[in-house]
Amino acid sequence: MSVTQDVTLGETRMLIDGELVEATSGRTFANVNPATEETIGQVADGAAVEMDRAIAAARRAFDETDWSTNHAFRKRCLEQLQEALESEREQFRAELVAEAGTPVVVTYMAQLDWPLADGLLWPAKQIEQFAWERELPPSSLAGMNSRRLVWKEAIGVVGAIVPWNYPFEVLIGKLGPILATGNTVVVKPAPDTPWNATRVGRLIAEKTDIPPGVVNIVTSADHLVGELLTLDPRVDLISFTGSTVTGKRIMEKGAATLKRVFLELGGKSAAIILDDADFASTVPAGMSVCMHAGQGCAMQTRMLLPRSRYDEGVELITAAMRQVPWGDPTDPSMFMGPLISARQHERVTGLIRTGIEEGAKLVVGGPDRPAGQDKGFFVEPTLFVDVDNAMTIAQEEIFGPVLAVIPYDDDDDAVRIANDSRYGLSGAVHGSPERAMSVARRVRTGSLSVNNSLWYGADSPYGGYKTSGLGRQNGIEGFEQYLETKAVSFPVQP
């Protein structure tokens, strides 16, 4: 593994109507490396004028070209894009490490290589396999003999709003099904991680036949430029991944034009360790909450341990959290790098302080800047035990490397605690297979892993119950959410 690519070559330009462009104002904003706090380069600071042009281009490409109906062409374009992305895989890797502060090891998983493997190709395959049309039984209502068909059609213009934690994965997870289903799109990357998206934009412009306007990428330091997507009547659907607070605002702003919304939001997932689980292989895995400094919505940030084996469990997870390798994200031995920004650092350390104030027992880490670490937005792997599920650190999404261990009495109590959350995104159950599966059925979340297995993949629907979101990314459910349904009748020939 190495990240020796020159990371000062990030693409500064946006993609609007097939052209790679700077902002009309000439303004740019800084892309900051969160591990060093150094500016690694600039990117165009788009404004309302660019967003307006991008939306107009996406509308025109949808309304006036055959993009939405030409299946073979779309498939070819997605395959071209796949090839183009693969040709710059190592540049993506280096850039993601530099701008997201993600440890290089994570780029060999969900941060880059996993979504690159099937994020475009699986939806591309569906273009040929999906049932775009089905026939209903004939009808003879009111003496009229009719044949009836159901057609699936692209929705139109999608506004895709992407977060900074897994920016490439989320971008590809949106572009694949959005384009395969025949929609056009305006992407608004997160201001903290713009370069992976502008690189995708350049590759689309230079190495694919994707027509002008089908994909537009508008970078901006101003979140409210993204909000224009939610207000504009020319946009049909918003596909958003990020915080629950912003997700609610998007629904509210989109209500005026009755926007379709797909929202993938926050989580506070629980790992339930049953009393017949193999503790040695499951409890230490709780340190995975530190991967990419805990900046993942599906992280299992609450660990539920049975009182009957509580001390044994606490001992195992304490040892594991103490051993998490963290530091320079370019170092392949690191599992955890910095948080994304000073703002997130303040938020995460504030929540750790709240945990201490509310009486949770701090065993590893804490809110103070780690010794000898005067640059970078680092916090230490942090473990709280004896946590009450009503405490702030058990209810709030912290988005940092913080694990809360909560004791429970029996299986019913474990299920009750796991479900006592306004979120419902993911989680895990560990124990004897039959019992673990039966507990898994009772947990109200959009995904669950039993005994260290992985549900991940472009074919696997991912999303949340409750305030963790609406709709699903990936899978056939994710594909269909970018489609409208039209029922059509015509007379039966005599």
Catalytic residues: 264
Instruction: Please give the sequence-ordered ranges of beta strands (E in DSSP) within 77-144, or none if there are none.
Output: 133-139
Applying CB under 6 A, the residues found at the interface with ligand NAD are 161-165, 188, 190-191, 223, 226-227, 230, 241-243, 246, 249-250, 265-266, 297, 347, 397, 399
Cα 5 from chain centre: 25
Burial label for 356, CB within 10 Å (0-12, 13-18, 19+), is middle
Tell me if 322 sits within 8 A of 364, measured CB to CB: yes
Are 177 and 22 a contacting pair, CB within 8 Å?
A: no
The encoded tokens of residue 133 equal: 């049309």
At its nearest, how many Å lie between ligand NAD and the CB of residue 126? 24
Could you give the count of Cα atoms lying within 13 Å of 308 in the half-sphere of its Cβ? 10
Residue 481 Cβ vs ligand NAD, minimum distance, rounded to whole Å? 17
Bridge partners of residue 408, in order along the sequence: 306
Judged by beta carbon, residue 192 or residue 411, the one nearer ligand NAD is 192
Of 254 and 329, CB closest to ligand NAD: 254
Helix (H, G, I), strand (E, B) or coil at 136: strand
Of the pair 207, 223, the CB lying nearest ligand NAD is at 223
Task: Kindly state the smallest distance separating residue 399's Cβ from ligand NAD, in Å.
Answer: 4
Q: Which is nearer to ligand NAD, 158 or 316 (CB)?
A: 158
For residue 490, what are the β-bridge partners? 147
- In whole angstroms, the minimum distance from the beta carbon of 307 to ligand NAD comes to 30
CB of 326 to ligand NAD, least distance (A): 19
Residue with tokens 């003879």: 140
Of 188, 260, 162, residue with least CA distance to 44: 188
Which ranges constitute the DSSP H helices of 157-296? 167-180, 195-207, 223-231, 244-254, 279-282
Pull the structure tokens for residue 462: 């991912």
Using the minimum distance from each CB to ligand NAD, give the nearer residue, 208 or 230: 230
